[in-house]
Structure 1
Amino acid sequence: MSTRSDLALLTPAEMAEADRLAGNGPALMEAAGRAVARAIQARFRPCRVLVLAGPGNNGGDGYVAARHLERAGWDVAVAPLAPPRAGSDAAGAAARWRGPMRALTAETIARAGLVVDALFGAGLARPLDAPLAEMLRGVAAPLVAVDVPSGVCGATGAARGFAPQAALTVTFFRRKPGHLLNPGRDLCGELVLADIGLPTRVLDRIRPRAFANGPALWTLPRPGAATHKHSRGHVVVLCGTQMPGAARLAAQAARRAGAGLVTLACPDRDLARALRVAEPGLLVSEAPLATLMESLPRAVFLAGPGLPPDETTRATLAALHAARRVTVLDAGALTACAGAPDLLSGAALLTPHAGEFTRLFGPPGEDRPSTVREAAARTGAVVLLKGSDTLIAAPDGEVVINHDAPPWLATGGTGDVLAGIAAALLAQGMPAFEAAAAAAWWQGAAARQAGPGLLAEDLPELLDDSHQKLST
């Protein structure tokens, strides 16, 4: 099972610092190039290989990979973009390559049966030059990227101009955010993380602030022998009259995720009567919000699923935050504050999708980790930006990327379920950042069991199975 250290993500600058702290650059480059060659040999049959070598350390890794492949009997040539800087580790690796050199041209690339992209790696801070980008567009053979496909930003996953599609990407020591964030994640193809001998102790000096999501970062609550329903927490889901199904989904999820009590707060008498017969174990209250806040001082309030984005919802949020209630805000509660994100201050957790985030804070842009961090710092709330690569940011700047949820979660109602899970975990005492990360991971694990025919209504029933598998 992965440890917290295993889940650390390093920016290109942090990875460069890890290399510096470890020292012995030539040995690390030798290990990296050997790892690339081994990954290729494990997945492809011998063929004509062309290594595109840049002038930096990425190119040096490519020269080493070429040497190891040639020793294994492969037909290998190197096409350099430019010579390495004299005296560098890459220059030493290039000097040990005795095989054929080719001009870096479209014609040379077209003759290859396998292309190794060792041009730039994750640290490229500008778009590829147009002639080079055009040559890479013409790659028809499988492409193996060293670190990342050239043009992909290792810190953000953004493609700077153009980046080629890789069949395989081999990276070293720790993954980077760009390996998990789209479009970089998709452009990497299969991702192999290779151990090249860097000591894990360098992470103590670097203190990474980004992590891939996983159970090593948090622990789901487990009731003990003395646990009772009140000690498992109380979630109050505010229910609107126009879309009560959204609130019901959130409430179902909160119950399945372990909240001891869940109340649907529904001021409409007729709707409340109908909701009471829908689920026997679900509490339904017509009491005013002020009464609920007074009678349930420790409850977690979930506002948004099915609520209209209007002044009434704004007033509700203001009352909750003035009373210092723990709140999870989603959907209509977020849209009600469009253009005025400071109204969200006081919330514990915000769960916007990209459209809601844009209405609140502006477009996420290419550097989504930074913009989500800024939103968390501005509001003082944990911010969970939903998507195929969900980002969770704490006000102190720590970020978690949830990257392996299945695509069939992209269906109506799954965001309501996610908010309900997170609210239940908060009610059971988890800190907001951990609750958000665990909710995103847990929902993804449940969805993987369902398959492509998933409906949001299926998810609450699947939470128990995924929880049991996590516990074994």
Structure 2
Amino acid sequence: MLREWTRADTSVLLRVPSVDDDKYSRGVVGLRTGSAAYPGAAVLGVEAAWRAGAGYVLYTGEARDAVLAKRPETVARTEVGRTRVGAWVIGSGTDAEHRSADERAELDAILRGDAAVVVDAGALDLAGEGSAPTLLTPHAGEFAQLRARLGLDELDLSHEDDRTTAVVETARRLRATVLLKGARTVIAGPDHDPIVVGNAPSWLSTAGTGDVLAGVIGALVAADPGRPLAQSAAAAAWLHGHAAARASGAAHGAAGHPIVALDVADALPGAIGELLS
């Protein structure tokens, strides 16, 4: 049965810090994202993780200077060190064809770890590898490539029933959670009923918003690592869509206006505050 995710579903999953929380207990997000060619993806993901409530953000990718110029609060280094990461985000703004041996070794270590991993864009070729709990976040083109690599049938993704069937089948094959981005985002875990999130305005379909979504997911997973990944992903997708509606002026049925990905990240704190009020 397909579950339509709601505002109320999202609200109950947002964790408000208590007086006993510190930066670590609020959630540590690690990002191995971005590259010399695409540093902006790293900036957007880091910004979104902070704006969605992470207590600590660790960045270990190749866009250190760009990340620190935008978010100096970020801890940026070439290795994880002793930091206990609650959730990783990998792949945004990277290209598997240009992956170095060092980068591959770092990604392998992350995928063999205990923390959940959000696998986006340039790391989707590693789906199914490692032992960490994983959440894949492809768009339609990447999803079709993933299914072809797995030897699964090509389906018409323009129909929601077929999209849902494909996401469920892929999640079960990989024993992972899959989030297929779109106007109506479909999410399924290997052992959970599928979820659809359909609150995003059409203005959200612009470059970089997927990088923002990956950062939001990382923050929500790190804040509550015991929750099923499908639920955290659905809450993140709903929050992402709601922030976009606020940023674009498209809330309450208004036509709205164009936005860029950073606008969505900037709107996250207000969107969270509204849900918690």
TM-score range, shorter chain: 0.7 to 0.9
Partner residue in 1 for 2:24: 230
- Distance in 2, matches of 1:279 and 1:306, equals 18
Matches within 5 A, 1:246-285: 246-266=41-61, 272-273=64-65, 275-285=67-77
How big is the shift at 1:273? 4.3
Partner residue in 2 for 1:329: 119
Matches within 5 A, 1:332-371: 332-334=122-124, 336-337=125-126, 341-343=127-129, 346-362=132-148, 363-365=154-156, 366=159, 367-371=162-166
| 8 Å Cα contact 1:391-1:399 kept in structure 2 | yes
- Distance in 2, matches of 1:424 and 1:444, equals 16
Amino acid at match of 1:461: D
Partner residue in 1 for 2:178: 383
- Distance in 1, matches of 2:133 and 2:91, equals 12
- Distance in 2, matches of 1:445 and 1:254, equals 16
- Distance in 2, matches of 1:406 and 1:352, equals 19
Amino acid at match of 1:436: A
Of structures 1 and 2, the one scoring higher in RCO (CA 8 A, sep 6+) is 2
Secondary structure in structure 1 of the residue aligned to 2:269: helix
1:426-448 superposed Cα distances (whole Å, 9 cap, x missing partner): 11015211110001100111111
Matched, 1:449 2:246: yes
1:356-382 superposed Cα distances (whole Å, 9 cap, x missing partner): 111101444341111101111122221
Amino acid at match of 1:390: T
Pick closer, same or farther for the CA change 1:281–1:330 going to 2, 3 Å.
Answer: same
Q: Alignment partner for residue 460 of structure 1, among 243, 265, 274?
A: 265
Pick closer, same or farther for the CA change 1:396–1:380 going to 2, 3 Å.
Answer: same
Matched, 1:419 2:214: yes
Partner residue in 1 for 2:94: 307
Matches within 5 A, 1:103-252: 209-218=1-10, 219-239=13-33, 240-252=35-47
- Distance in 1, matches of 2:66 and 2:246, equals 32
- Distance in 2, matches of 1:275 and 1:213, equals 32
Amino acid at match of 1:439: A
Amino acid at match of 1:471: L
CA RMSD, Structure 1 to Structure 2 (Å): 2.0
| 8 Å Cα contact 2:40-2:66 kept in structure 1 | no
Matches within 5 A, 1:433-448: 433-448=230-245
Partner residue in 2 for 1:319: 109
How big is the shift at 1:274? 5.2
Amino acid at match of 2:93: G
Unaligned stretches of 5+ residues in structure 2: 149-153, 249-256
Q: Alignment partner for residue 392 of structure 1, among 154, 171, 187?
A: 187
Matched, 1:296 2:56: no
**Between the two proteins, what is the percent identity of the paired residues?**
37
Secondary structure in structure 2 of the residue aligned to 1:401: strand
Unaligned stretches of 5+ residues in structure 1: 1-208
How big is the shift at 1:216? 3.5
* Length-normalised TM-score, structure 2: 0.84
How big is the shift at 1:314? 4.9
| 8 Å Cα contact 1:346-1:380 kept in structure 2 | no
- Distance in 1, matches of 2:96 and 2:230, equals 25
Aligned residues: 252
Secondary structure in structure 1 of the residue aligned to 2:173: helix
- Distance in 1, matches of 2:239 and 2:120, equals 18
- Distance in 1, matches of 2:82 and 2:38, equals 26
- Distance in 2, matches of 1:439 and 1:237, equals 17
- Distance in 1, matches of 2:179 and 2:213, equals 10
| 8 Å Cα contact 2:46-2:67 kept in structure 1 | no
Secondary structure in structure 1 of the residue aligned to 2:70: coil
Larger radius of gyration: 1
